[in-house]
Structure 1
């Protein structure tokens, strides 16, 4: 009982993308769940302390959980940060290779020998933008029996850190900068011939500049083609929370299940809530995530979901983005799910 009463706050963070954590937060379910335990929720990404904000990527804070893109938590685990993988959500989204009209690139095969732009951030934080673009390229090329060695990969330098670039007049009052700006600029300057984009920002920027879609594969029937940094997204908790209070992790999962169940019968509200979460219009959300978005905000830990994360982890390791390899099975923690099952039986 002493341990249970020792926790007065829990840190949490989520990416600005469709997730059951984002939905549960907007519905007030998260605060309600933890308030019943006398626990305050604190947002990592909204903290004024840069070291706290960095936990969005490094997952170093005790008593914290994270739901979003899978590259940072996979990287953190490879560096030895003690975390547990407790849930997975698969929400498909627009993924495409785009080019400018007049580039002469009509199909994926036309990418052979052409320049493909890959964003590269300065050292310090795992380069999730580069990993995402490269996996998108590999997926697209594989559909035509091609490999990345047949394309000229060109680095696009991204200045600054996402940890620091969160306020100031250059954001015009918004919370985040529009994604794919440097990549589109390189495309317009003629420094590269094609780039990868995804999700709501990908749809928006492709529309804004009237680009040509070379190939779109975000809803491809083969899951290994769709797998990328956001497909699927993962829920991780730090080791202390997992070990000291597995009951709280179970309550978190139960709350996210409630949010997912609510979503299935509220498609219009879900689209509206997600639009608010990602900073886009409902029309863009519908285009980027498809008409069945409300049916894909659940959470689970089924073998096929774990295998998908393992597949992407292997890609990251093969391309040199991980400090070390590790076993996905050792990362997975099914104990909170067992607690939920016990409650259901009781």
Structure 2
């Protein structure tokens, strides 16, 4: 098993996988077996880094937004889905003061910014924005045909500013994350569009910096399936060949990820600090965006709601031409490694719980 090299990548979003990476638990798990586990950022090869979207790098894991892996699977990449996760966060439409827009109903005939990233293999930003608009407009009985979608061309790749190599660093640094909607904000301030879509800490940042006002927030909808977008749900994927040939490695990685999710429940401030580091934002913005329940929402699962959300997301991407073709979600999902990982974590938890009283008895006897 020595000389095996595992690769990973993650989006700048809250995941238990990111916690496990930052805590050093993945290195600790595999080091004794001579297995290295390395971020895609360690490679200076652009093709290797592009695996964040294409999932073509051998022996690799990815946890984050769902559009890239869904797209990768649709064009034939050897990728399997081993888990889903969900973290509550604002997903908003914003306008500037004085626009006259107070609600979704006021959007009829107005100009909505729609990015088009020309250098990325899958335009996940466009897909997320388009779905945000479609979902919001439906609440007022409107459709995309009732508004003017203004294309905002982005002639730079999402990975252009990934930075220097790093063994465990993220591909998405603070500068890169802050500049993500640069072109949309320029059009917004120049009066070329009336509305932009944003989410998470970035949306909070725009409200603080620009005085932007929220017209609609999907996170206020009691029907969580109405939240479906690139971040709902997050997808946890792995190279198909690795899963087929060494499933025990996949299970071991999932065990450490699930343990990180458990750790977060009793380490809220530490989890917030790691998420802030991953996103390149202030801890206050993490708290404002994800709320007091963030540390309770890192679980990885295949809950019926998460799977239903994934189906809706794939259907949207297919309907709007983002995919290379259709595929069966049920055949993409592989539940075995996660089921085994959850069994192992539960057994560890039970063993720990039963060992504590014995330790207390011994201490009292002494």
Which TM-score applies when normalising by structure 1?
A: 0.93
Any gaps of 5 or more consecutive residues in structure 2?
A: 165-172, 349-366
2:16 counterpart (13, 20, 23): 20
Partner of 2:176: 176
Contact 1:9/1:42 (<8 A) preserved: yes
Contact 1:93/1:219 (<8 A) preserved: no
Instruction: Give how far 1:223 is off.
Output: 1.4
Instruction: Give how far 1:339 is off.
Output: 3.2
1:98 counterpart (94, 100, 111): 94
Partner of 1:209: 210
Does the residue aligned with 2:41 lie in a helix, a strand or coil?
coil
Contact 2:2/2:34 (<8 A) preserved: no
1:50 counterpart (40, 46, 57): 46
Q: Is 2:162 the partner of 1:161?
A: no
Take 1:219 and 1:47, find their aligned partners in 2: how far apart are those partners? 41
More moved, 287-296 vs 298-307 = 298-307
Partner of 2:274: 273
Instruction: Give how far 1:26 is off.
Output: 1.1
Does the residue aligned with 1:251 lie in a helix, a strand or coil?
helix
Runs of 4+ in 1 over 6 A off after TM superposition: none
Does the residue aligned with 1:116 lie in a helix, a strand or coil?
strand
Partner of 1:64: 60
Instruction: Give how far 1:338 is off.
Output: 4.1
Partner of 1:189: 190
Q: Is 2:70 the partner of 1:74?
A: yes
Q: How many residues align?
A: 338
Take 2:255 and 2:9, find their aligned partners in 1: how far apart are those partners? 18
Q: Is 2:233 the partner of 1:232?
A: yes
Which structure has the larger Rg over C-alpha atoms?
Answer: 2
More moved, 213-222 vs 235-244 = 213-222
Contact 1:247/1:339 (<8 A) preserved: no
Contact 1:180/1:205 (<8 A) preserved: no
Q: Is 2:244 the partner of 1:243?
A: yes
Contact 1:45/1:53 (<8 A) preserved: yes
State the Cα deviation string for residues 176-230 of structure 1 (Å, max 9, x = none). Answer: 2413221111111111110101011121122211111111122422112211101
Instruction: Give how far 1:304 is off.
Output: 2.1
Contact 1:263/1:295 (<8 A) preserved: yes
Take 1:117 and 1:338, find their aligned partners in 2: how far apart are those partners? 42
Instruction: Give how far 1:237 is off.
Output: 0.2
Contact 1:20/1:297 (<8 A) preserved: yes
State the Cα deviation string for residues 96-149 of structure 1 (Å, max 9, x = none). Answer: 100111111111000011111011111541001100101111111122222111
Q: 1:339 to 1:271 in 2, by over 3 A?
A: closer
Does the residue aligned with 2:130 lie in a helix, a strand or coil?
helix
Partner of 1:283: 284
Q: 1:130 to 1:276 in 2, by over 3 A?
A: same
Partner of 1:32: 28
Take 2:304 and 2:177, find their aligned partners in 1: how far apart are those partners? 36
Partner of 2:304: 303
Contact 1:45/1:56 (<8 A) preserved: no
State the Cα deviation string for residues 82-103 of structure 1 (Å, max 9, x = none). Answer: 1110011101111110011111
Take 2:205 and 2:120, find their aligned partners in 1: how far apart are those partners? 29
Take 1:270 and 1:338, find their aligned partners in 2: how far apart are those partners? 25
Q: 1:159 to 1:118 in 2, by over 3 A?
A: same
More moved, 308-317 vs 118-127 = 118-127
Does the residue aligned with 1:237 lie in a helix, a strand or coil?
strand
State the Cα deviation string for residues 220-264 of structure 1 (Å, max 9, x = none). Answer: 221122111012111000111110111111111111110000111
Which TM-score applies when normalising by structure 2?
A: 0.88
Take 2:223 and 2:35, find their aligned partners in 1: how far apart are those partners? 42
Does the residue aligned with 2:98 lie in a helix, a strand or coil?
coil
Take 2:100 and 2:174, find their aligned partners in 1: how far apart are those partners? 36
